[in-house]
Structure 1
Amino acid sequence: MSESLDITREERVTIFTINRPEKMNAIDKDLARRIQDGFAEFDECEDQRVAILTGAGEKAFTAGADLEDFPELWRCMPGMGITTTKPVICAIDGHCIGGGIVLAALCDLCVATRRSKFLYPEGKVGMTGGLIASLAARLPHKVAMEIMLLGRAVSAERAYEMGLVNEVVEPGQHLNAARAMAAEMAAMAPLVLQTLKQTVVSEMLTPAPAERMGRTMRDLDRVESSEDRQEGLAAFREKRQAEFSGR
């Protein structure tokens, strides 16, 4: 647990709660890394089978990237910095803005309350990271373009019609609904669910260019932070043969 991210375990389910309600749960550099690291630990834990990603407070699930401390958003995106093949459920209450919509789309399932609003305003502020194009591989073309190009607020009911949301519930009930979904999946054969998810993500969905870039950044980051890199640099300085470990 940290100030900006709460991680709790309920039997076989791990709940990640973005905890910056004073900032509408906007994701800064530190939080993006914490989410990435938390999911890596979740993925390695054999008794944890399903994850839920939600936000603290009633105002927002997340406002996306914190513009005052712009993060590497790929770090906290499923299929990029988050590499788990276990099911991930997004539980939304309040506003879901910018990169938050990408998060919701890249999760496997999504629950939202009736008061939730989805907004992608980047055309109005003159900037984009391009990850939003991933919607076009997950939603029908025209509805994906409706979110991206018009920049209008989309209600939870409309998001359900679009296929962005699986279930719409009363305010405050999003986490309970997500828990119910998670409990169902946690009781199933984990290898089957993981295989089905991996097949869909790897073989059925066409990644957007920014999504492919995020995966490349993930792979390069793994090398950059590796023990082998440190060993290689040390061996070069010390004029000796490097002894690599593959870590």
Structure 2
Amino acid sequence: MSSVLYQSRDGIAEITINRPDKHNVIDHSVVDGLHEAWHRFNAGSDRVAILTANGDRAFSAGANLKDIPHDFWRAVPGVGVPVEKPIIAAIGGLVIGGALVLVQFADLAIAADNTVLSYPEAKVGYSGGLISSLAARIPHKVAMELLLVGGSIDAHRAYEIGLVNRVVPSGDQLTVARKFAAEIAANAPLVLKLLKNFVGATLPKGPSEAAAIARATVEAVNTADDYREGIAAFFEKRAPIFNGTVPSPSEASTV
């Protein structure tokens, strides 16, 4: 069973974390699945993506602390994978740790009224630092309370501070997200891309975010066909023939 599902219809991608029996905990398979899904979305014809999860109890309970995926940054759109199209998060139940990071980097969010968001990394002694960019998206003092106290907020508080766009009855979040997505998908894609990129350039980036973007950019170069061709040409004592292509995520993972 795939940990991340990708479904496409009418120009809308639905990317679903699919570990409901484990509260959709983010493990290595989820990181790999999301990484590939964002590449597929950005390169394909879908105009909008909805990020959601199967199960009623949790959008995601955060990282697997028994085997922490330290490369979680690869799963984050706009960080591990450059994404130039709109993303809507449809969330409900628990939204913990890395799951909150995913919501943070979505362009819009629809929350079920049973949603509880928290970031308890200060309580467990581990952090990847990507959450620091939350302070560019919600009021500073509210962000610091979430991060330093490690408490939680409900869906209505998330709406008050601008972290989510709508609060809806539990079970309706995906339906409402689909309505938003259909409206966005009907708009001019070049304008959507321009505005998303301009907003991304306007928002401040935290140090972990900037470092992860740089690392992803370097890895894209160092896993490309030109890397293999250049090394082969060196040992074969011939001129390299470069083509400038970037491998698919599955190809890159085997390098």
What TM-score, normalized to structure 2?
0.92
Paired residues in the alignment total 244
Q: 2:217 aligns with which of 211, 216, 219?
A: 219
C-alpha separation in 2, matches of 1:91 and 1:29: 22
Residue aligning to 1:148 = 147
1:194 positional shift: 1.4
Residue aligning to 1:68 = 66
1:228 positional shift: 1.0
Residue aligning to 2:107 = 108
C-alpha separation in 1, matches of 2:232 and 2:29: 28
Residue aligning to 2:78 = 79
Residue aligning to 1:210 = 208
1:66 positional shift: 2.1
Residue aligning to 2:39 = 40
Q: Would you say 1:91 and 2:94 are equivalent positions?
A: no
- String of CA shifts for 1:57-80, please: whole Å, max 9, x gaps: 011111222223332111111211
Structure 1 runs, 4 residues or longer, greater than 6 Å off: none
Shift of the 8–143 alpha-carbon distance from structure 1 to 2, 3 Å rule, reads same
* Structure 2 unaligned spans of 5+: 246-255
Q: Would you say 1:178 and 2:171 are equivalent positions?
A: no
Q: 2:54 aligns with which of 56, 60, 68?
A: 56
* Matching residue's letter, 2:224: S
1:206 positional shift: 0.5
C-alpha separation in 1, matches of 2:78 and 2:42: 13
C-alpha separation in 1, matches of 2:239 and 2:82: 33
C-alpha separation in 2, matches of 1:96 and 1:34: 19
Q: Would you say 1:131 and 2:130 are equivalent positions?
A: yes
CA contact (8 A) 2:50 2:88 kept: yes
